[in-house]
């Protein structure tokens, strides 16, 4: 096949892969597209492989995260042409991870040798790198597509990365079994497939319930994004939350979404004070997203602004967001970037990063692991917090992405965090998808998106530690490096 044919197929395979994730859930695709990509790299030069990797990544991110266009153009006020270029640049930049991945694969771990091991090892290594390099963008990991399949039993053992490892291993081993002529490789692939097909038999109950289930009410106010930060609407929006809470909630715990209070508490207090007082008298807890300001003499402005989640009742408690969205919540090189377009001057785009150690939110009777917006996509960040907590809460404002596939992807990611950590999870959003997820990663209750509503549900505190919580990503990385050593050693032996 000529190279341009391979290039088009690589782009197509990458672009097809997001159909395996929510909201489409065509999960068998996740066992096909990596195999096709693996075949396309066969007998290619290092330069050709690098280009094929970049094109696969361009297709994957070009379709899978194209929703960033909505936040840039619709809500950021950036002209359409510039917004398209920015979205394309974002996808092209993320695709460089795949370009480097295939460069290393072609340079050190491909022919002649056990190429399957090298392909799997580099894939998982780069999924991990995407979770922290340049603050990370841990989106579209293969393992998410296998949620709600028999293979997700491995998530509490090794996290989403172990599920990804199983996915890419099954895909490429099936491919190698059908295409390779080497008996030793075919035997190894057959044994590997047979072993992995036993994973649905693994233990699933790693944590234990504590006490009785208790009720939680989650308020979804459906505030328009283009009005949310306009001070003139503040009284109306706060009273919407207050009235919904007063009239439609009775649970001991009530959760409002990310920046449900789009102002400092001193400005919002006149509107929410009576509600908070009533809830305190009844022994109820109110948790809400809110910007918070902390005086800091070392800061150039004399203070720091945080995107926070607060317990507003009782003694109160605060959690500050640890993973900020670049260009959305803070602007790198802001003196230059803010002059380019309106997108770089979004409301509340000057948040600060807190100290690296954050404790769970604490009330009188429970510890709650918090994650704000896309923080829930960071497996290791959530893992550390979840070990010290009874249940998880994540708040978001996915209104930024309107009617795109982003909210469904975000919910699927939250489901994986609940499964990895063996904890119930409450997901509170401004306009959906608001849901309660059980400790097995299943959506227990959900309300329709894009409407004003309150979710009434119950959750169960749990205790105990899953293997993933205990060991983190380390075992999966060890497996990846062992596979890379096998591939490299096999290649060296064949070359002699």
Catalytic residues: 258, 321, 373
Three-state DSSP state, 296: coil
CB 416 within 8 A of CB 144: yes
Q: Are 290 and 397 a contacting pair, CB within 8 Å? A: no
Q: What gap in Å lies between CA 68 and CA 56, rounded to an integer?
A: 19
Q: Could you give the CA distance from residue 254 to residue 261 in angstroms, rounded to a whole number?
A: 14
- Which tokens sit at 33? 């597209």
285 contacts: CB under 8 Å, gap ≥ 6: 252, 253, 254, 279, 311, 313, 314, 363
Give the β-pairing of 367-372 and 462-463.
Answer: unpaired
Encoded tokens for 56? 């696969």
Closest CA to 72 of 60, 58, 86: 86
Cβ pair 473, 159 in contact under 8 A: yes
Contacts of 194 (CB under 8 A, 6+ apart): none
Q: Is the dihedral of CA 59, 65, 66, 68 positive or negative?
A: negative
Q: Which of 151, 163, 219 is nearest to 393 (CA)?
A: 219
- Strands of the sheet containing 361-362, edge to edge, are 361-362, 367-372, 391-396, 425-429, 435-437, 443-446
The DSSP bridge partners found for residue 459 are: 214
């Amino acid at each position: 096949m000529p190279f341009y044919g391979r290039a088009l197929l690589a782009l197509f395979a990458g672009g097809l892969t997001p159909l395996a994730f929510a909201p489409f859930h065509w999960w068998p695709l996740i066992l096909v597209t990596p195999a096709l990509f693996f075949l396309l790299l066969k007998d290619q030069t290092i330069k050709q492989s690098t280009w094929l990797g970049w094109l696969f990544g361009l297709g994957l991110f070009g379709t899978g995260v194209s929703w960033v266009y909505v936040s840039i153009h619709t809500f950021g006020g950036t002209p359409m042409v510039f917004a398209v270029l920015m979205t394309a640049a974002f996808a092209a930049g993320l695709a460089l991870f795949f370009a480097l991945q295939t460069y290393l694969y072609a340079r050190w771990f491909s022919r002649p040798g056990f190429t399957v091991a090298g392909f799997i090892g580099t894939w998982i290594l780069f999924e991990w790198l995407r979770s922290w390099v340049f603050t990370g963008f841990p989106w579209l990991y293969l393992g998410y597509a296998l949620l709600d399949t028999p293979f997700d039993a491995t998530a509490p053992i090794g996290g989403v990365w172990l599920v990804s490892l199983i996915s890419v291993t099954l895909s490429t081993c099936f491919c190698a079994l059908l295409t390779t002529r080497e008996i030793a490789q075919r035997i190894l692939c057959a044994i590997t497939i047979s072993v992995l097909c036993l994973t649905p038999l693994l233990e699933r109950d790693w944590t234990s319930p504590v006490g009785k289930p208790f009720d939680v009410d989650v308020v979804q106010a459906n505030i328009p994004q283009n009005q949310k930060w306009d001070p003139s609407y503040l009284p109306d929006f706060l009273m919407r939350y207050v009235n919904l809470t007063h009239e439609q909630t009775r649970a001991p715990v009530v959760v409002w979404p990310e920046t449900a209070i789009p102002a400092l508490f001193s400005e919002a207090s006149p509107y929410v004070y009576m509600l908070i007082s009533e809830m305190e008298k009844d022994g109820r807890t109110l948790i809400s997203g809110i910007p918070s300001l902390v005086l800091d003499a070392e800061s150039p402005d004399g203070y720091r602004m945080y995107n926070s989640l607060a317990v507003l009742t009782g003694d109160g408690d605060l959690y500050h967001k640890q993973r900020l969205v670049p260009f959305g919540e803070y602007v790198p090189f802001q003196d230059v970037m803010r002059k380019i377009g309106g997108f770089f001057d979004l409301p509340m785009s000057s948040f600060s990063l807190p100290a690296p150690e954050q404790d769970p939110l604490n009330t009188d009777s429970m510890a709650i692991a918090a994650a704000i917006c896309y923080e829930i996509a960071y497996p290791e960040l959530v893992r550390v917090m979840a070990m010290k907590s009874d249940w998880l809460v994540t708040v978001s404002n996915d209104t930024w992405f309107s009617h795109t596939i982003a909210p469904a992807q975000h919910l699927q990611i939250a489901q994986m965090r609940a499964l990895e950590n063996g904890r119930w999870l409450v997901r509170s959003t401004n306009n959906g998808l608001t849901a309660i997820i059980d400790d097995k990663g299943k959506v227990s209750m959900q309300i329709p998106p894009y409407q004003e509503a309150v979710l009434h549900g119950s959750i169960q505190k749990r205790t105990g530690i899953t293997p993933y919580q205990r060991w983190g990503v380390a075992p999966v990385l060890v497996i990846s490096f062992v596979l890379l050593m096998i591939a490299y050693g096999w290649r060296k032996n064949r070359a002699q």
